[in-house]
Structure 1
């Protein structure tokens, strides 16, 4: 029996708007981010959803609560769905990271799957913990539909793993704030990407392609 996963990126935060790497920093949604969540909530209000899950970080959980409200379902927090731990890079812009960690940053950009961010994680570690969480959710909801609200990095790593793509190229997968992805699992090992980075529910000017 197939499980359909609605995989959602959280709404915009202040650091998204400022193009800063967030990672495990618990940054709240902006007013725009809240509006994005409500827009997606309206779009999904008529879907039959059996469970809602999110990262335990505020930006993901608050987005998930907005989506879950019309369905009267409590959101379950899963720490393993957190964004990649950017360690010493959290709060910095791309240019600031290049200036302070030039050689290490270049190495991570070329080979993030095995390159450890100073004080943080490798992308392979992120993919493994996220995929473990996803597998448990899918196995618990065969024949059902579930919503998972997570982060750009975790969503990219999940989709890369499902499709058998090279993790080192995960940055080629665009993941906008409050975007909707759908993955069907007729069998756990045969995930099918049905919809990718769909933002049709968002108003022009509210799409932010950031980390």
Structure 2
């Protein structure tokens, strides 16, 4: 089973490099265009299930795909909302990252351990039961969500990956696609990280055969 973790399109706060976290921002003009382009990419896949964060920027990003493929089941979930960063929200990203690095991971807002707990709850309750039943699942969510899951799979679960691809694209940009192949309920391989080739109509990380 393939799972495609997709970040939402650009918002004004993204463009201004402001940490938004739980702030329910909407897509800007560029973000809406990105949503159309990633929808074209996803339409080429044999998607048979979609999960989407309940935040506006995610629902707006998945909307073009839903319009194209209304037959695909979609479930909106609070479990894959972005982390609540508390007092850091509204702060320049660079400044927020510095404070996060200098303090305990659970110091601000929701805390990293709480974030990971709810993300794994989503994974265990929604994704794992589909193993052996679905072929291609899309999870439309947030950069912080994708990064937390990716790090957990690589560091704690031992998912394999191509080092060159990881180093080339470590940052999850807007509508970046991270493709995971589940080889069992406990293991898998990460085929690409935050790929945005669809934004320039390229295909540097072509979908694998299902």
TM-score, normalised relative to structure 2? 0.81
1:95-110 alignment runs, 5 A limit: 97=96, 106=99, 108-110=100-102
Aligned equivalent of 2:121: 132
Deviations 1:65-117 (A, max 9, x none): 2223222135311111011101122122136658xxxxxx53x21455x3321
CA contact (8 A) 1:135 1:188 kept: no
SS of the residue corresponding to residue 202 of structure 1 reads: helix
1:96-175 alignment runs, 5 A limit: 97=96, 106=99, 108-110=100-102, 114-117=105-108, 120-143=109-132, 144=134, 145-164=136-155, 173-175=170-172
TM-score, normalised relative to structure 1? 0.81
The alignment covers a number of residue pairs equal to: 187
Q: Does 1:67 align with 2:65?
A: yes
**Runs in 1 of length 4+ with deviation above 6 angstroms?**
none
Deviations 1:44-65 (A, max 9, x none): 2121111111111110121122
Gaps of 5+ in 2: 157-168, 202-210
Distance 1:41 1:97, change over 3 A: closer
In the alignment, the residues of structure 2 paired with residue 199 and residue 12 of structure 1 have an alpha-carbon distance, to the nearest angstrom, of 13
In the alignment, the residues of structure 2 paired with residue 22 and residue 89 of structure 1 have an alpha-carbon distance, to the nearest angstrom, of 9
Q: Does 1:77 align with 2:76?
A: yes
